[in-house]
Structure 1
Amino acid sequence: MVAEAEPVIDRITLTSAYDGFRLSAWHLAARSTRRGGVVVLHEVFGLTPHMADVMQRLAAQGYDVVAPSLFDRIEPGFLRSNAQEGIAAARATPNAQALGDMHAAFARLGEGPHFAVGFCFGGVMAWIAAQHLDGLAGAVSFYGRRIIEELQAPLQCPVQMHYGDRDGSIPLSDVAQVAARYPAAAIHVYPAGHAFCREGGSNFNPAARDLAFQRTLAFMAGLAR
């Protein structure tokens, strides 16, 4: 029996609500009965095979998926293997600009419910989307380090969060502070390091990744009803 090929991800262009900038993005249509739409928000490395894998997983569960390239103003199609270059790009990306880019991505999805799912830098972006963008059904944040700096605004939708207890960049005291400030947020901690979902990375933990994805899909399905 021949294995079914993964659907090809489309390359699209979005027009930012922040400044009219035209940024690139990936799009993948739902592969089963449609549940809604998801904006996937990338790590500091840009749109990598890891983000493509996340999109495939979500599309298989009935979600239309768009992943905007949030560092396109720095370099079109930004893609790096060096974390320091990606961190510099993240620092050069204002929240207001990212929110305008995300707004364009959500507009591309059509009818809701709409969700944000982000990793590392993208985990912070999912968090600020939950604080500042209207109309989201929910947001899922994976190991967003800078969330500790974004505790002023209330959440406008349910949020689920995933952290590793061995993450050298996010102390558990930060996680506890987020939990105390936002008791309604669903926070899960795993015996893992930073970026435990990225296959091929030094901290990849398949058991933690699989459990986190199961929880993510259950969280979204419960809100999409």
Structure 2
Amino acid sequence: MPGTYDDVAPLRPVEPTAEARGVDTIGSASRTGVPITVVEPERIARGGIVVLHESREFSPQLRELMKSLAFEGWIVIAPHLFDRSTDDGVREVFGEELFDDFDAGFDWLTRRGVFPDTIGVLGFDTAGTAAFLVATNRPIGAAVSVAAPGILEPLPDQDTALVDVAADLQAPWLGLFGADDPATPPEAVDRLRDATARANVASLTISYSGLGHRVDRPDPDDDAAAAIQIDSQTRIYDWFDSNLR
């Protein structure tokens, strides 16, 4: 069904542990699916891309990116990652539930007949960290991370820093960073570049000079930032085009 619409992706059933059965799990037990926004191409899909993002609302930039990827021939789905939280003060998502949401999106695509090796993941901020980790332990075709922190030190709710598992990458990975981003300093990005080079799959780590943070959020009056946005989006399209086959 071409166009944009909302759906619900069922979560994989999880057998509660004995410890979990001894605590109040009313909130988690009632969560059986994750809402998703879907953008389907007008033509027969080449594969699918799961977009992980750190926004309670879908920004115009995110929607345009999803539409652009669909125009390239991909079924694009974005789980509503904050659906699980009733606290409006929460601004970051991570932990096992984020990976559960990715798996739900992945399963939704495979039920549509999309092959696992033609499914990619695109993540921003800590969700970009999750996209990297997904590429180390999920049967996907390619991954892209934008401004992913947790390079040298693990993020909260995560046991592993990216450099420690970089050699375990199972899917080609593209990382996009701002050279002036304090969350991802150049020395950390350089170490990640070296670590991913030891993996058995292709990797490419790009640092944009003069950029403080997200390459998809340029200052509209800054021509250099706009050029970075064009370059970064072209790299994302080309990475999926080259590796999701």
| TM-score, normalising length: structure 1 | 0.82
In the alignment, structure 1 residue 14 sits paired with structure 2 residue 19: no
Q: 1:13 to 1:199 in 2, by over 3 A?
A: farther
Equivalent residue, structure 2, for 1:190: 208
Equivalent residue, structure 2, for 1:104: 104
Q: 1:136 to 1:22 in 2, by over 3 A?
A: same
Q: Do the aligned partners of 1:12 and 1:26 also contact (CA within 8 Å) in 2?
A: yes
Pick aligned residue for 2:173 from 159, 168, 176: 159
CA distance in 2, matches of 1:37, 1:100: 17
CA distance in 2, matches of 1:13, 1:202: 38
Residue 160 of structure 1 deviates from its aligned partner by 0.6
CA distance in 2, matches of 1:85, 1:29: 30
Say what the alpha-carbon RMSD is for the aligned residues.
Answer: 2.5
Pick aligned residue for 1:132 from 128, 137, 141: 137
CA distance in 1, matches of 2:58, 2:145: 17
Equivalent residue, structure 2, for 1:38: 49
SS of structure 2 residue aligned to 1:136: coil
Equivalent residue, structure 2, for 1:4: none
CA distance in 2, matches of 1:202, 1:40: 27
Residue 146 of structure 1 deviates from its aligned partner by 2.2
Residue 185 of structure 1 deviates from its aligned partner by 2.2
CA distance in 1, matches of 2:203, 2:13: 28
Equivalent residue, structure 1, for 2:148: 144
> Which amino acid is the alignment partner of residue 118 of structure 1?
G
SS of structure 2 residue aligned to 1:47: coil
Query: Structure 1, unaligned stretches of length 5 or more?
Result: 1-6
- Render the CA deviation track for 1:94-151: whole Å, top value 9, x for unaligned: 1x22112101101112313000011112211211111121x20100111111243333
CA distance in 2, matches of 1:175, 1:49: 29
SS of structure 2 residue aligned to 1:174: helix
Instruction: Give 1:145-224 correspondences, 5 Å limit.
Output: 145-148=149-152, 149=154, 150-151=161-162, 152-153=164-165, 154-183=168-197, 184-191=202-209, 192-198=211-217, 205-224=225-244
> Which amino acid is the alignment partner of residue 208 of structure 2?
Y
Equivalent residue, structure 2, for 1:66: 77
SS of structure 1 residue aligned to 2:81: coil
> Which amino acid is the alignment partner of residue 127 of structure 1?
F
Query: Structure 2, unaligned stretches of length 5 or more?
Result: 15-30, 155-160
Identity %: 24
Count of residues paired in the alignment: 207
Q: Do the aligned partners of 2:146 and 2:176 also contact (CA within 8 Å) in 1?
A: yes
- Render the CA deviation track for 1:151-195: whole Å, top value 9, x for unaligned: 333111110110111112211111012112211521011121201
Q: 1:23 to 1:194 in 2, by over 3 A?
A: same
